[in-house]
Chain A
């Protein structure tokens, strides 16, 4: 009971802070529209890069353009949601450095909610919009023998994928408490992760695929379930039911990230000057 009310409190605090940032962004409406378009364009360039590759070849690692667009749409949409919800986490390092993190600790609201909603940026809808557009195009153009399970798996992948990326953001934030200046390491796993998942697993070395399946389970964002939907062999010959495990993987990741966050918060020492 105490846990649920704490969760409710966190969500409420999150919305209050996020709402404040939304109102502040809406004050400069033109600037908002311009940065939103910029965001759309910037994240869209990733896909232009893939289109450029496909202007020269017909398949990459044995996967055609619609199939890679499917992977891309799933990866970018899931990452975009996590980025919208918790993407400001990377300012944590600078907040610790300048001492303003202490202010968050004394406020009567969960720190994770406060830091998650810090500088909430609506312009990040740009990435989600772009990812969804590619996903819709991919769904319309892939040749799939749709079944109820496959149809259901698509929204499930997006939600679980977003949760897995959220866990990566939270774990990264916990890491920043120790690392401070080294906050860029987090980018390797967040931005690096979403870039990686835009390409088929057949492209990468076997040890590399093992790493992103069993150590940092990004493969469950799209590689494994998308292989099921597209009727392709699973990476690493995983068993058939693995395609339906992303929600479980997401829950496990969230639990581990939560533990890491608590450990990080517990060991926090202020800047001291």
Chain B
């Protein structure tokens, strides 16, 4: 029971840390809104050309765009969450301090990242989404259940997103420099999460592959859950499976790293 209080406090710390920079948050909201407007126009043209592309109608495509902008920083789709801190701490050797703490390394950073995600969702994500709903026709459900279903999908998406980035961060125990791996996180995140183009609309075999990868749990699944395009339970199962696999792999890699790797700087 006591340890839950600890992780809740870490999560609250993560939330407050990002809540401190109000001007930066406002700037992020503005930038996400501008990108949302640009993307919406191109998607409208695209769906004009080919209605029902990827099984969506125009209003659904617009909803998809704005949900993507809402989740862009929430899920750290191009990186920039807890993994950035972990990489920096491994590089400087400060990770040794973390390992001494009477808390689990993975859970500590998971809690911190969830706190960050929740703030980004409320502080940065909601406004562009509302802006989109006010100025463009969107396909939004009117029943509370669909929104509750979305929230569960989002929580799972946050865990999957952390799982991917935590694995990437741990690799720095061996690589020593996080530059390349952060680029990798960015490239795979942007391409495979469907922020550029809905995964449903990817052609042929490429589509089958990206829809099976863990990045599909981040934007595609929550979007489909919100718009009733998929059975929520199936989506949760997909997300939860990847969450367990990624966190499990992170746990294995973490124990290998802490057993075998000499911390830098000492």
Cβ 8 A contact of B23, one of A61, A180, A187, A199: A180
Cβ 8 A contact of B24, one of A49, A184, A208: A184
CA distance A61 to B34 in the complex (A): 20
Report whether B41 and A56 are in contact in the complex, using a CB–CB cutoff of 8 Å. no
- Which B residues are in CB contact (< 8 Å) with A213? none
Cβ 8 A contact of A204, one of B26, B41, B50, B201: B41
Cβ 8 A contact of B196, one of A41, A45, A183, A208: A45
A273 contacts the other chain (Cβ, under 8 Å)? no
- Which A residues are in CB contact (< 8 Å) with B44? 203
Report whether B31 and A179 are in contact in the complex, using a CB–CB cutoff of 8 Å. no
B: interface residue count bin: 35 or more
Binds A, one of B89-97, B184-192, B221-229, B244-252: B184-192
A103 contacts the other chain (Cβ, under 8 Å)? no
Report whether B23 and A192 are in contact in the complex, using a CB–CB cutoff of 8 Å. no
Report whether A183 and B27 are in contact in the complex, using a CB–CB cutoff of 8 Å. yes
CA distance A7 to B186 in the complex (A): 38
Report whether A181 and B180 are in contact in the complex, using a CB–CB cutoff of 8 Å. no
Cβ 8 A contact of B197, one of A49, A189, A204: A49
Q: 1/0 per residue B3-22: CB within 8 Å of A? A: 00000000000000000011
- Which B residues are in CB contact (< 8 Å) with A55? 203
B183 contacts the other chain (Cβ, under 8 Å)? yes
Report whether A35 and B179 are in contact in the complex, using a CB–CB cutoff of 8 Å. yes
- Which B residues are in CB contact (< 8 Å) with A57? 46, 49-50, 53
- Which A residues are in CB contact (< 8 Å) with B180? 31, 34-35, 38
Report whether B46 and A53 are in contact in the complex, using a CB–CB cutoff of 8 Å. yes
- Which A residues are in CB contact (< 8 Å) with B191? 45, 48
A205 contacts the other chain (Cβ, under 8 Å)? yes
Cβ 8 A contact of B27, one of A42, A52, A179: A179
Report whether B28 and A60 are in contact in the complex, using a CB–CB cutoff of 8 Å. no
CA distance A199 to B40 in the complex (A): 12
Q: 1/0 per residue A141-181: CB within 8 Å of B? A: 00000000000000000000000000000000000000111
- Which A residues are in CB contact (< 8 Å) with B38? 192, 195-196, 199
B45 contacts the other chain (Cβ, under 8 Å)? yes
Given A45-B196, A181-B23, A188-B30, verify A59-B203 contact (CB < 8 Å).
Answer: no
- Which A residues are in CB contact (< 8 Å) with B177? 31
CA distance A11 to B46 in the complex (A): 45
Report whether A185 and B27 are in contact in the complex, using a CB–CB cutoff of 8 Å. yes
A140 contacts the other chain (Cβ, under 8 Å)? no
- Which B residues are in CB contact (< 8 Å) with A31? 177, 179-180
CA distance A59 to B46 in the complex (A): 8
Report whether A60 and B49 are in contact in the complex, using a CB–CB cutoff of 8 Å. yes
Cβ 8 A contact of B37, one of A45, A181, A202, A208: A208
Report whether B41 and A42 are in contact in the complex, using a CB–CB cutoff of 8 Å. no
Report whether A187 and B197 are in contact in the complex, using a CB–CB cutoff of 8 Å. no
Nearest CB on B from A268, distance (A): 17
Nearest CB on A from B127, distance (A): 14
B202 contacts the other chain (Cβ, under 8 Å)? yes
B131 contacts the other chain (Cβ, under 8 Å)? no
B255 contacts the other chain (Cβ, under 8 Å)? no
Report whether B31 and A188 are in contact in the complex, using a CB–CB cutoff of 8 Å. yes
Nearest CB on A from B72, distance (A): 12
Q: 1/0 per residue A28-70: CB within 8 Å of B? A: 0001001100110110011011001101111111000000000
Given A42-B186, A56-B203, verify A182-B37 contact (CB < 8 Å).
Answer: no
Q: 1/0 per residue B183-213: CB within 8 Å of A? A: 1101100110000110001110000000000
Some 24 contacts from A to B, beta carbons below 8 A apart, are A31-B179, A31-B180, A35-B179, A38-B183, A38-B187, A48-B196, A49-B196, A49-B197, A52-B197, A56-B46, A56-B50, A58-B49, A59-B49, A60-B49, A179-B23, A180-B23, A181-B22, A181-B27, A182-B26, A183-B24, A185-B27, A187-B31, A202-B45, A203-B41
